[in-house]
Amino acid sequence: MAPHEGRRGDFGRAAEGVGDSTQEAHGELAMARLALADGEVSHAAVHVANALFCEPRLPEAHELLCALAARRDDGGLGLYGPDEQGGMFAGSAAALAHLQAAAGDFDRALGTLAQVAAHEPHRPWGASAVWLGPGIVGRLDPDGLARTLLGMVQLLGDPVDDAQSAALAPFADVARLMVEAHPGHGFLLWAGSSFMRRLDALDEAVDWAFRAWTRDRSLEAAIMLGNAWRRVGRTADTEKLWAAVLRDHPEDLDLHVDLGELIAAQGRFDEALGWIQRALAVDPHHPKAAPAAHGVRWARDRDIAHLVALVDHLREHPDHGYAHELIARACSGAWLRHVPYPTEALTNTLRQLLDQVEPGDADISISLSALEPPSALLAVRGVFPRFGLSVQSVPEPDLRVPLRQGRCAVWSYAPGDVEARAVPGPPDPAVAEAVRAIAEPSWPHPALAYDRAVLLAGCALEDLLGVLVHPPAPDDSELGTTFARHEPALWVRLVQIWACLGIAHHRPDEPWAGSVRRSVLVDLAFGPEDWVSDAALFALVATAWLEPAVREDVAELVGHRFLDAKLAYRTREVTLLRSLAELVLATPDMPAQVRASAVEQLAELERG
């Protein structure tokens, strides 16, 4: 029976986020009293549950809950139960827990309230239960408490944050009292250790697990002791313990994986793979072993092929959540996790101006020694519309000239002109809003960025192209305001990247080789040098993460575009060069020679 946040009964109204929580709780109680006066006990129960959700500790809510219980022969227990899906609104589950305690069923009451607290650890559910005092110890079954604590740790972070730790403190106090009352109960000790570790009570976590291990030498106690030791930095002790335990319990494949990952964290990758491969030899479809092997190989080689192998694994085993976790944990840096930062002289100037001048119609002019990508000027003019620019030179190879002739372009230059003209007109406002709504600054990994952009699949191609050169302003959220005031150029980058990801979903049923989506993205990538170029390439790369059939083609395109930029860099500045090199390293099936060239180029850029 899993509690659900924010779900209320038929008569309830959404209380969270409307205003002051205590005031909202009192409003719910007022409705409950009216319903109770009319004899509508079930109706009143819904409002009491809503009040407990708003403010779990409110004394008046508990008093009215007692009044409801007095109206029922079953003590109110029948007022709250699971829905058709087997879940329950958190406020209702908390009310049920208090009624169970009033009926003397403390094991069930604690189990119910603990599940609520684990699902919503930021709320003071434990502090709302006066029955969780020292007197409860003699009324609880230690096995039952151990099972309750294990149910909680499955839902909690490791560790939880300080606010959650404070809210969960009453449950920790009960665990301490029970361990004191049952000092030799191995199950309670190692389950309690797991719970205390999540609250960062590490002395108790280590002590309880060690006592459980020395008492009965159980596999579970060894695992919990190793996890507690690992948190306090005793990795060598953990490794020695787990290796010894596996000699007696070779059937525990999860522990093979845990030990392998522990060893990998020390840089002993081949040895780590040996432990994980022993698990795979027993069960080739183990939900953790195969993903862990890919994760260790990635840590060893830093070859994107291992992360893409995790994506391929997920396509075959979508229920293997550990693969999701490993990809998200491994992906960091430009393109794998977030948009690259713009580095043009224009964008550097823009940041300096915003430190000194409010956005608006200020008369500002600068001179550039060399022409830069048109989107950089687009970003500046979005903040300072009357910004004046003069360009002293256009070095060869001319960035205005497309590298390949195509049919689709978003920028064009009149002969001899240094300011680009936007080719498409402004997009439909609904499409601009759709792109703005999904323009997140980061993503767990490229495949999920591609998946998220499916929300743009129904947008007209001409509108997505229009977004690239007529980007919508950020919204008025806190993040949007930050972009508008401090990082408008980065915002333009974001919009262009997500619009290109949307283009990657245009007519998805067309065969790749002759598809409009491929043709348009290639034209953008090899058109006039601009932020749109690498945004289009990223859309191709994100597609390749999910579609093996396109990988060879995408690798060739990305590789050629990078090598073209590297060649141009011999005679002029290429502001996209770092970004393109990072794209090479994020591209599946990239030839080793091109990868090596990208690594070399990044090292050179790092040296300055």
CA proximity to 122, closest of 162, 163, 89: 163
Supply angle C-alpha 298, 281, 301, rounded to 5: 15
Token match 């403010």: residue? Answer: 55
Alpha carbon of 334 to those of 174, 238, 338, 345, 538: distances in Å?
47, 35, 5, 20, 11
Instruction: Please enumerate in sequence order all residues whose Cβ is within 8 A of that of 122, keeping only pairs 6 or more positions apart, or say none.
Output: 163, 164, 167
The two counts, helices (H) then strands (E), for the chain are 28, 6
CA proximity to 129, closest of 57, 206, 22, 223: 57
- How many other C-beta atoms are found inside a 10 Å radius of the C-beta of residue 428? 15
**Domain-wise residue ranges, the chain:** 411-607
Q: Cβ(139)–Cβ(106) under 8 Å?
A: yes
Token match 């309230």: residue? Answer: 113
Say what the pLDDT of residue 15 is.
38
Q: How far apart are CA 92 and CA 500, in angstroms?
A: 46
CA proximity to 339, closest of 546, 521, 502, 490: 490
Supply angle C-alpha 288, 291, 293, rounded to 5: 105
Q: How far apart are CA 454 and CA 327, in angstroms?
A: 20
Determine which helix (DSSP H) or strand (DSSP E) holds 391, and give its type and residue range: strand 388-391
Crossing angle (nearest 10°) for helices 142-153 and 106-119? 10
Determine which helix (DSSP H) or strand (DSSP E) holds 368, and give its type and residue range: strand 365-368
Say what the pLDDT of residue 12 is.
31
Q: Cβ(120)–Cβ(90) under 8 Å?
A: yes
Q: How far apart are CA 220 and CA 208, in angstroms?
A: 12
- How many other C-beta atoms are found inside a 10 Å radius of the C-beta of residue 171? 25
Q: How far apart are CA 8 and CA 88, in angstroms?
A: 9
Say what the pLDDT of residue 359 is.
86
pLDDT tens sequence across 536-573: 999 999 999 999 999 999 999 999 999 999 999 999 99
Q: Mind giving me the DSSP string for 424-468?
A: S-PPPHHHHHHHHHH--SB-SSHHHHHHHGGGGTTS-HHHHHHHH
pLDDT tens sequence across 52-91: 999 999 999 999 999 999 999 999 999 998 877 778 899 9
Q: Cβ(401)–Cβ(426) under 8 Å?
A: no
Q: How far apart are CA 44 and CA 21, in angstroms?
A: 19
Sign of CA dihedral 10, 80, 125, 1: negative
Say what the pLDDT of residue 13 is.
34
Q: Work out the burial of residue 79: count CB atoms within 10 Å of its CB; fewer than 13 is exposed, 13-18 middle, 19 or more buried.
A: buried
CA proximity to 270, closest of 293, 303, 289: 293
106's tokens: 């403390």
Say what the pLDDT of residue 557 is.
98
Say what the pLDDT of residue 135 is.
92
pLDDT under 50: residue ranges of the chain:
1, 4-18
- How many other C-beta atoms are found inside a 10 Å radius of the C-beta of residue 94? 29
- How many other C-beta atoms are found inside a 10 Å radius of the C-beta of residue 299? 16
CA proximity to 579, closest of 589, 587, 571: 587
